[in-house]
Structure 1
Amino acid sequence: MDIWSLNLRHLHAIERIAHLGTVSGAARAVNLSQPAITQGLGRLEDLLGVPLFERRHDGMIPTAAGHILSPRIAAALTHINSPHVTMSRMRAMLAVAETGSYTSASALTGLAAPSIHRAISDLSLALRRTLVTRRGKFAMTNEAGRQLAREFRLAQVELEAGLSEVMALRGHETRRIAIGAMPLSRARILPAAVARFLARRPQVRLTIVEGSRAELIEPLRSGVIDVMVGALRMPLAEADLVQRPLFADVPAFYARYDHPLAGQAPTAAELARFPFTLAPRGTPLRDGFEGYFSESGLPLPAVPVESGSVMMIRQVLMGTDFITLLSPDQVAVEVEAGWLRSLAPLPDQFARSIGMTTRASLLPTQVQSEFFADLEAAAGACGAE
């Protein structure tokens, strides 16, 4: 169901009915008439095909669908945080933020460009702040506009999740999970979790977006993806995110199978004589590399090639005397094939924590909770091997 056909004030009223138990109380809370609320509630129940409340002589009791939808509406309203926002204004703001022009926003939404421009202008006037700046044919969101678009996107996510959960009650499985996959997660834990999950939930659509943390962090914070799996950051810099550790990973130094140091259990000084190809600065692997050599009292080895791609690193190693630092899971296939070999493990104090990162405000849907449990189960199974 398209959320943009809904009325935000009617949704607010439904949330208030669930909280207060009466239409009259909701009418006072949202400044709408009781007939308007009753009509809006009836229209939404018709669209959903399920009742949201059980009508009793002494009030309104939420049904199973009502219990699902009302907290989602409350969460969306928390992100919107203004009585001046309407669905049309929210949609226009999101479209302009995504496309960067009124013309492109019109093509994306099917709305007339003047209508989108008017909605943005009305929103700016109501909120008393500039949100979009015209630059020729482009409409660029400023910092306030980008922050508002992020909150609107999270509100959209909450409403869509609520509606899909209600539709699932009717047997219409329309739910989806968007997963941000950092390099290590793609080796074992994420494929194992996906296999476990789909064995039970084949109807749920999974979207896996691959990238580094730097590439995935903003889509996670904006609600484009639901969870990010990979190396955790300690401490976590983003206050709107939370992390859940799954297992500890101890990286090792790897090189081509016939490297000069092969089979020698090399010391830090011997490793430092060779060039490295590594993940970029600021990643846990790079931090472990720098900490290991610094604690050994050695200058950092040269790193002529930086890459977050295991495939690229593998190809560099196979044709040179370069060394890298990676998780054993990331190069298990290459080691088994006899292309690469481990030279020495990184000391345990440089182990990194692998886990999942989500928004602090996330209210997991049923299928999201199940998938998170499958990630934990897959991590436990990998750790037991």
Structure 2
Amino acid sequence: MKWNLRHLRVFLAVARLSSVSRAAEECNLSQPAVTQAMAKLERMLGQPLFRHQSQGLFATPAGELLAARVRRALDRIDEAAAPISPRLSQTATRAQLEALIALRELENFTLAARQLGLAQPTVHRAVSALESEARRPLFERSAMGLRSSRAARALADAARLAFAELDQAVMELAELEGREAGEIVIGALPLSRSSILARAIIAFRRTRPRISIRIAEGRYDDLLRGLRMGDIDFLLGALRDPLPIGDVVQQALFEDEVILVVGPDHPMLDREDLTLGELAALPWVVARRATPTRQIFDQLFEGRDRPESVVETGSLILMRQLLRESDHIGIVSGLQVASEIDLGLLVPLPFQPPDGQRLIGLTSRVGWIPTAAQQAMIGELEKAVRQRSY
């Protein structure tokens, strides 16, 4: 939805003052301009935002809901824009901020224009207008391309979160009318793509069949960045200890066991007296660095001779294949390989890590307020965890 930020600021003024005339005076606009802006906003949203009474204009439930989200969105932009220029928050347009976001991400005018579907001069003018208001460059130009300043990065990141907040407003307004709109984006780490997430989606679909669900997959660092930028609503998977950064929060759902597994013909399966020294002499398949599973592997051999033959991978498919066709030892979530163990394709070793527990749960932004649909999805995930049979 193509929001007009100036219209949203006028909307907040009308909602706060309950008066078109006072809002017009505060925003330095004519009364007809304010009236037209509110009418345009109501047409775009397809809902009345104000009730006309003798005492003035009062927000409808839709208006109250929108005002709460708009206030949060604009506060983000205002806070980031204030150190750059006192007037920038009032003059910056949505198109200018979208150009800033694309250029901050891609650091190239041609690529930014292509991403936005615009001509390069259009993007250049949008960013130049912001720089003109700031009275300083927001990007450093060099032979290597563009590099955004700290202020530009802060404003671009704030604008992305503001636009995500406005997307949530659209979802909530649709819910208010009994409609379904918008998209839920879940950052899914490997374990979460098991039956837990599938069961939650199936249950969610029974009550909200038309809301789009997108599963973002990838490395934790990439998913965390998407979460912090507002591209992802929440992450589902192994929690980090310590917390990677202060602007996210974690909610534990259940405890998972990390186990050592091998193929069914592994020579160590008949050994009940296995030692770490013997295991260290064998080849291993381990998770990538800085993951909870890798931390358990590192703790297992802390102060001891470590395995010299190690394959590091984030691919569970590759790990499974190596374990089934060789004498490698894998360290992996028991939940992730539960089906292979049930089928006899993989077998837990007699020796297991003494401290192999890790927490699985949700990660979200500090201060994030989920919509009813997003909260319903989280509720289904929590229900799927309670009903799990493993």
Could you state the TM-score of these two structures normalised by the residue count of structure 1? Answer: 0.90
After superposition, residues 170-209 of structure 1 pair within 5 angstroms as 170-209=177-216
Structure 2 residue aligned with 1:271: 279
Instruction: Name which of 77, 80, 84 aligns with 2:77.
Output: 80
Secondary structure in 2 matching 1:83: helix
Letter of the 1:202 counterpart? P
1:172 offset after TM fit, Å? 4.3
Structure 2: segments with no counterpart, 5+ residues: 79-88
Letter of the 2:301 counterpart? F
CA distance in 1, matches of 2:144, 2:352: 54
CA distance in 1, matches of 2:56, 2:275: 75
After superposition, residues 295-374 of structure 1 pair within 5 angstroms as 298-344=304-350, 346-347=352-353, 349-374=355-380
Structure 1 residues 165 and 137 mapped into 2: Cα distance closer, same or farther (>3 Å)?
farther
Secondary structure in 1 matching 2:203: helix
Letter of the 1:254 counterpart? V
Query: For 1:122-148, what per-residue CA distance to the aligned partner results, in whole angstroms no more than 9, with x for missing partners?
Result: 212323443234456955434443332
Instruction: Name which of 293, 296, 300 aligns with 1:288.
Output: 296
When structure 1 is superposed on structure 2, of 251-260 and 186-195 the one drifting more is: 186-195
1:320 offset after TM fit, Å? 2.0
Structure 1 residue aligned with 2:246: 239
Instruction: Name which of 9, 28, 32 aligns with 2:6.
Output: 9
After superposition, residues 35-184 of structure 1 pair within 5 angstroms as 35-81=32-78, 82-135=89-142, 139-184=146-191
Secondary structure in 2 matching 1:330: coil
1:218 offset after TM fit, Å? 0.9
Contact 1:150 1:222 in 2 (8 A): yes
Query: For 1:322-357, what per-residue CA distance to the aligned partner results, in whole angstroms no more than 9, with x for missing partners?
Result: 111111111122222322101147456441110111
CA distance in 1, matches of 2:8, 2:386: 42
Contact 1:193 1:378 in 2 (8 A): yes
1:268 offset after TM fit, Å? 3.2
1:91 offset after TM fit, Å? 2.2
Matched, 1:228 2:225: no
Contact 1:184 1:231 in 2 (8 A): yes
Letter of the 2:298 counterpart? E
Aligned length: 379
Contact 1:230 1:354 in 2 (8 A): yes
Letter of the 2:201 counterpart? V
CA distance in 2, matches of 1:129, 1:236: 36
Contact 2:259 2:352 in 1 (8 A): yes
1:97 offset after TM fit, Å? 3.3
Letter of the 1:182 counterpart? L
Matched, 1:380 2:377: no
When structure 1 is superposed on structure 2, of 124-133 and 147-156 the one drifting more is: 124-133
Letter of the 2:376 counterpart? E
Query: For 1:257-276, what per-residue CA distance to the aligned partner results, in whole angstroms no more than 9, with x for missing partners?
Result: 12122143434344333221
CA distance in 2, matches of 1:70, 1:130: 33
Structure 1 residues 34 and 256 mapped into 2: Cα distance closer, same or farther (>3 Å)?
same
Aligned identity (percent) is: 39
Contact 1:249 1:327 in 2 (8 A): yes
Query: For 1:275-333, what per-residue CA distance to the aligned partner results, in whole angstroms no more than 9, with x for missing partners?
Result: 21101121111111121232xx5222235210011111111112221111111111122
Contact 1:252 1:345 in 2 (8 A): no
Letter of the 1:274 counterpart? L
Structure 1 residue aligned with 2:225: 218
CA distance in 2, matches of 1:365, 1:110: 30
1:99 offset after TM fit, Å? 4.5
Contact 2:259 2:356 in 1 (8 A): no
Contact 2:323 2:329 in 1 (8 A): yes
Q: RMSD of aligned C-alpha atoms?
A: 2.3
Contact 1:278 1:303 in 2 (8 A): no
Contact 1:48 1:167 in 2 (8 A): no
Structure 1: segments with no counterpart, 5+ residues: none
Structure 1 residues 37 and 309 mapped into 2: Cα distance closer, same or farther (>3 Å)?
same
When structure 1 is superposed on structure 2, of 257-266 and 104-113 the one drifting more is: 104-113
Letter of the 2:223 counterpart? L
After superposition, residues 16-35 of structure 1 pair within 5 angstroms as 16-35=13-32
Letter of the 1:7 counterpart? N
